[in-house]
Amino acid sequence: MHTNPAIASMIFNAHPDEEHWLTAAVADIASALANDLLSNQRARLLVSGGSTPGPVYRALAAQPLDWARIDVALVDERWLPPGDPDSNAQLIESNLLINRATSAHFEPLLQPGRNLADSVFAANASTGPASVLLLGMGADGHIASLFPGMHELMSALASSADYVAVNARLCPGAGPWPQRISLTPAGMARALTRILLIRGEQKRKIVERALHDIAPGELPVHVALTLPGAPLLIHWCP
């Protein structure tokens, strides 16, 4: 993959198939969590929704980690009632908080009785530096709930808060869930290990475009590639 070294901060791992992709991604996540637990009482894992990471979550849940000392929190969430089957929380509960990982402490972004503003406030009050940040990317180049063309996208990208409320109305990638809570680049920057999971030639080409001076408003994944600190580890397979 050709990159612009002036803006790119990433390590691109190309795998021949899903099996190798899955094994490598799980190994990186588990290793980072285990290493953080060697020097800290607890580790923190920030996870994304979407269809791509499901197999990784299920394999990760079988890893012999000290899950009782791991806090699992969300990168973003759709503004839906707690327990809604279309929420990211339900995806995580069904795919990650199983097997050995049932003892992990889960921090959903939505709680009964909280409005959107209160939920964002609580997310910012309880968050800490993540041991591992696990990102996905949409076919439109969005990460978290930061969509191209979204109203007040640039304000969200520039926010000093870890989480913000966003309105992705008229953004095709948001589907029927425009109101959301999203991690910001400021929140992403505090993670010790950052991993992006993508599959397919289309998404590989999007990342390649984002590496060449593409404005973050056009391809928000650009911000994940230019954050200070640790490089973004990208795991890709066809």
pLDDT of amino acid 47:
98
- The whole-number pLDDT of residue 216 equals 84
| C-alpha to C-alpha distance for 123 and 40, rounded to whole angstroms | 22
- Tell me which residue of 155, 132, 156 sits closest to 232, measured CA to CA: 132
Q: What is the pLDDT of residue 145?
A: 98
Q: Which positions ≥6 away from 196 have C-beta within 8 Å? A: 10, 135, 136, 137, 143, 207, 221, 224, 232, 233, 234, 235
Which amino acid would we find at residue 170? Answer: L
The closest of 83, 85, 97 to 54, measured between CA atoms, is 97
Cα 140 to Cα 218: distance, rounded to the nearest angstrom: 9
8 Å CB contact between 132 and 195: yes
* 166 vs 145: CA distance, rounded Å: 8
Report residues of the chain scoring pLDDT below 70.
1-8, 127, 213
The Cα diameter of the chain in Å comes to 49
225: three-class secondary structure by DSSP: helix
pLDDT at residue 229, rounded to an integer: 85
Fold of 10-236: Rossmann fold (3.40.50)
Alpha carbon 175 to its chain's center = 18
Residue 7: its pLDDT value, please? 54
pTM tops 0.85, yes or no:
yes
Q: Strand pairing partners for 95?
A: none
pLDDT for residue 168 = 97
Every domain of the chain and the residues it spans:
10-236
Query: Which residue, 140, 156, 124, 143, is CA-closest to 195?
Result: 143
